[in-house]
Amino acid sequence: MTPRPESSGPFPEQPADRRHTEPPAPARKKTPAKKQPASAATEKPAARKTPAKKTAAASRSAPVAKTTVRKAAAEKATARKTAGRRQAGSAPAGTTPSGKTPADRAPAVEEAPGGTTAPAGPAVPGATPTGTGDAQRAPGGRKAAGTRGRGATRTTPGPSTPAASTDPVPEDAQRLAPPEAEIAVSPAVDAGDRERLLHGTHHAPHSVLGAHPVPGGIAFRAFRPYARAVTVVSGGMTVGLHDDGDGFFSGLLPLREVPAYRLRVAYEGTEVETEDAYRFLPTLGELDLHLIGEGRHEELWTVLGAHPTAHQGVSGTRFSVWAPNALGVRVAGSFNFWDGTGFPMRSLGSSGVWELFVPGIGEGELYKFEITRPDGSKTLRADPMARRTEVPPATSSVVTSSRYEWGDAEWLERRAEVPAHRAPLSVYEVHLPSWRPGLTYRQLAEQLPAYVKDLGFTHVELMPVAEHPFGGSWGYQVTGFYAPTARLGTPDDFRYLVDALHRAGIGVIMDWVPAHFPRDEWALAEFDGRPLYEHSDPLRAAHPDWGTLEFDFGRREVRNFLVANALYWCEEFHIDGLRVDAVASMLYLDYSREPSQWTPNEHGGRENLDAVAFLQEMNATVYRRVPGVVTIAEESTAWDGVTRATHHRGPSGFGGLGFGLKWNMGWMHDSLEYMSHEPVHRRYHHGEMTFSMVYAYSENYVLPISHDEVVHGKRSLVSKMPGDWWRRRADLRAYLGFMWAHPGKQLLFMGQEFAQGAEWSEAHGPDWWLLDPHYGAEADHRGVRDLVRDLNTVYRASPALWQYDTEPAGFRWVTGDAADDNVLAFLRYDADGSPLLAVSHFAPVVRHDYRIGVPDDVPAWHEALNTDAARYGGSDVTNPDTVKPEPQGWHGLPASIRLTLPPLATVWLRPA
């Protein structure tokens, strides 16, 4: 048998005893070789051949090193002789001894132009060392000659004698084909996988695309829509893959193991070299998937979403999304011209998570997930876990990572020293986009901390910062739960603002909205084609008041999404507190619903047991992981145990919800109702100012004058007061003095600190022009702001006003029944028993020598604050001298003092 020349095939340096030598197949008409794209190595001109019948496999042989016409003719003759000997020694026709392919169906040895021969099965046409020519397989993705079933055939080795070769020997020759007796398979993507990839319904694209060991070598497959050619580049080797049509490219290399490689992709007018996204292992580990499945991954934001990273030594971005009902998920973005066809993600087991590492892309890239729904339709969705978004009304997610270096370590260490309910807490509520319209996070950081610190507030409360598409919702209809709104800057810019507030000694509370989300078709609603984040029962999913959807708190993955979100803001942005919005709407199944619109729980009650469990889990997890943080409930009902520990059961049988504080909506409503009456009528509503003390210690309360009370026709705080401008301001000052002295923490919305007369509007924010010195009434507004500053100063310096806010020992009525005089008086005590006396007078008259009962262990009292002082815009009726008690008992106390009560004012007195 004539030995095969050593220079044959795409690897001329391969030893003859390690190569396949294939017997010829029955002759077939020659198919012209397809022209190789420009990205492949330059083809060498073929010498004129003697007439011979060729198989389809031969028509796909690769042109290799140039030889003479005489050598080509000699080698053809040798090949024919070799084939004759093999046919003579083959098994009878139609038999397959030992499973071998009959000789009459064996593939022919391919003959390359230039007189060399190349194996048709294991070797990929087009595989060449650097400097040699590439070749193409026959168009149309047809199977290689001699294939069987899905394109496999068994090859029969023949004797060979080493022959001299002058071709270069690349290092890649050391990873050559497996033993010759293996079955070679077609590298092309089969019809089923091809169909699923084209339609975006493939669950495991990595099992098809990329490089995979197969019988006969390593199969390379790429899916690159719109590409003209794809070439595998590995070391000194380049392999032009065959164009199988529809963007699929494939080839089979006679290698023993998958090499390190890159893809060179040629498009019309350009060529790029990149890593193959389908050669990487998953970026999520088994523990992550287990925790996600259990709904207990407390750092969910670190594994889902888009994260620039280095994976297996390659820089890129890992994408992952939870979409358990999807038939398929693809990534589309600015990096692929918003066509996700060539970027299918893989499904990671039963977790419902889809994942893809895309090499070569990083921060700033826009992206969305293209999801194939169960009905086969497609939807393009923003990332629920996106940590940065485009500026609305644009809706794309943005790849981001943080490089911010915090400077608030001292603040974080100190904030956990005293629980919030035992510390001074005076809150300034802010809507960032409208506080100073047009300012960015970093510009706000230059103004807001200084302003709040000057007024003496201990905290700011930011109306929802999370991304929301409609500015008119003030942030309460969230679509980007993990992204600070891009209207004001980047996530790191927001970190800079929080850091600046902390360095100024100001805590940051953030409104958080886990109750519901809007129906925008690019966001969470029916995210993967079926109810996912919302409840599957339409009656429970639809929020009756706001036209939004309620979360399915009974689904563990949804609870995980929300619990991790609470932790995310506290840990990643150093938020000091979360004010949870619309808690009442979560707790009751019949909230704003008619009897026929809700279904009782398993016990026949109206409590939403799933929401209760979620709130308990959220609070317990936040307090466990983030010391010093406080959670605050906006809850407007008499639900028992909102601020009780989750493991303490109350009369209702439920454990507490676990909040640190609760808004006292009852106090707010009753006290504003009282203040809205003319003073002459207030005697008939006196109980509205005293009733709050009946339940003051049932929860840990915050007294809120929030944004909700100064919009939608409710008028601003000063405009709620009756009478002329002087009386309105006086009533406002007296009310603020009463509020700061009442048990509970305080919250005041921006603009109310300087008696803005108009309602708040998110379009233009507070009326700062009222404080312009050139404005005629500027002193009136500045006087109210000066009062707020002094209220906070005295408040913070008086432990009696905050140390026992939540304990009855910290309060005693002096007189709560002086309805005819419109007078309220009470004592506040600190932990050492030191008192502060607060007297509020809500009548527009001066009362001289008004007797007030006091303890007999205080030798003298002095006026600490008087809201009628001239510097606040009042009539300056004060008690300038030290007041000494008389031994005459009054109001049930052993001593008394006589005061001059100014009109419509509150007076605070402390021991002299």
The residues annotated as belonging to the active site are 581, 634
| CB of 520 closer than 8 Å to CB of 479 | yes
Distance CA 54, CA 869 (A): 110
Distance CA 73, CA 54 (A): 15
C-alpha torsion angle, residues 812, 639, 625, 402 (rounded to 10): -110
Written as six digits, the tokens of 631 are: 């959670």
Output the CA–CA distances (angstroms, integers) from residue 766 to 83, 368, 531, 716, in the order listed. Answer: 94, 37, 41, 11
Helix ranges, 331-457 (H): 409-415, 432-435, 441-455
| CB of 716 closer than 8 Å to CB of 759 | yes
Written as six digits, the tokens of 664 are: 């006292």
Helix ranges, 246-299 (H): 286-294
Written as six digits, the tokens of 760 are: 């708040």
Closest CA to 64 of 43, 78, 79: 43
| CB of 19 closer than 8 Å to CB of 48 | no
Dihedral sign, CA of 573, 578, 579, 585?
positive
- β-strand partners of 272: 265
**Contacts of residue 192, Cβ cutoff 8 Å, sequence gap at least 6:** none
* DSSP β-ladder status, 630-633 and 577-580: parallel
Distance CA 729, CA 718 (A): 6
Phi, psi of 890 (to 5 degrees): -155, 145
Report helix, strand and coil shares of the chain as percent, to nearest 5.
30, 25, 50
| CB of 863 closer than 8 Å to CB of 899 | no
Q: Is 848 exposed, middle or buried (0-12, 13-18, 19+ CB in 10 A)?
A: exposed
Written as six digits, the tokens of 608 are: 């939403």
Distance CA 319, CA 412 (A): 32
**Contacts of residue 873, Cβ cutoff 8 Å, sequence gap at least 6:** 729, 733, 779, 780, 783, 784
Q: Is 92 exposed, middle or buried (0-12, 13-18, 19+ CB in 10 A)?
A: exposed
| CB of 731 closer than 8 Å to CB of 844 | no
**DSSP string for residues in 647-660:** T-B-TTSPBP---S
**Contacts of residue 88, Cβ cutoff 8 Å, sequence gap at least 6:** none
Written as six digits, the tokens of 104 are: 């009459």
Distance CA 486, CA 42 (A): 51
